[in-house]
Amino acid sequence: METPGLIVHGEAAPFSTALRSLVNNPLYSDVRFVVGQERQEVFAHRCLLACRCNFFQRLLGSEPGPGVPSPVVLSTVPAEAFLAVLEFLYTNSAKLHRHSVLEVLTAAVEYGLEELRELCLQFVMKVLDVELVCEALQIAVSFGLGPLQERCVAFIEAHSQETLRTRGFLELSAPALLLLLRSDKLCVDEAELVLAARSWARVGAAVLERPAAEVAAPVVRELRLALLAPAELSALEEQNRREPLIPFLISPKT
């Protein structure tokens, strides 16, 4: 009786290196992408993408017609992040960078690449800092990434004052900001938190072209106005008369 065959394995490194050389290589390429706002042209290989990722299998499912096929336009993913995704699909590894890892994470979630998503999450948690944390929190809230959301909130609780001064804080969505306002562990006075919320509302008002009070409406109920000293509350009332933000008919949260 013939014995069962045995699967043997060659060295992985040369195989990975060979496949990496095909990333964005026009040699034998049969699909072109135009990616990002910069509209960078990227070359790839249809069969490899389709067998590695269901998103690309659906996207590239139809056979190209005769002649030179039109490029596939992916305008929402930056070129650097897309190339990192391709590197992972070709080699099962990718080089991640602090400045672009959140864009790679977003692409991994949108393309259903669970392993790459987990690798990005691990990397983000290692490099998390004051400048990165709000953007990471926003992505965690948008995509329901619970562990990253918890890690970001805990980081902000420990570095509250520095985080409130960042551009990322001003660009948070209302649901993400509500997570922070509902925390009892922020290391910041309530008066500073009210000022930060006002700055956040001003930025949102400018972007959305809506009144600041309207933008702030979902979050002002979470401000603990009862914790303000009398002088702070008086100053807030005076500022609110000049620049309406908080409807004082709403009972302060205790």
Q: Provide DSSP, 186-235.
A: --S-HHHHHHHHHHHHHHHHHHHTS-HHHHHHHHHTTS-GGGS-HHHHHH
| Confidence (pTM) | 0.88
Residue 196 contacts residue 169 (beta carbons within 8 Å): yes
pLDDT tens sequence for the chain (254 residues): 677 889 999 999 999 999 999 999 999 999 999 999 999 999 999 999 999 999 999 999 876 666 667 899 999 999 999 999 999 999 999 999 999 999 999 999 999 999 999 999 999 999 999 999 999 999 999 999 999 999 999 999 999 999 999 999 999 999 999 999 999 999 999 889 999 999 999 999 999 999 888 998 889 888 888 788 888 888 888 887 888 887 753 444 44
- Helix, strand and coil percent figures for the chain, each rounded to 5: 60, 5, 35
Cα 138–Cα 143–Cα 149 angle in degrees, nearest 5: 55
34 φ, ψ to 5°?
Answer: -120, 115
Q: Provide DSSP, 101-156.
A: HHHHHHHHHHTT-HHHHHHHHHHHHHH--HHHHHHHHHHHHHHT-HHHHHHHHHHH
Taking alpha carbons only, the member of 58, 60, 55 closest to residue 44 is 60
43 φ, ψ to 5°?
Answer: -100, 145
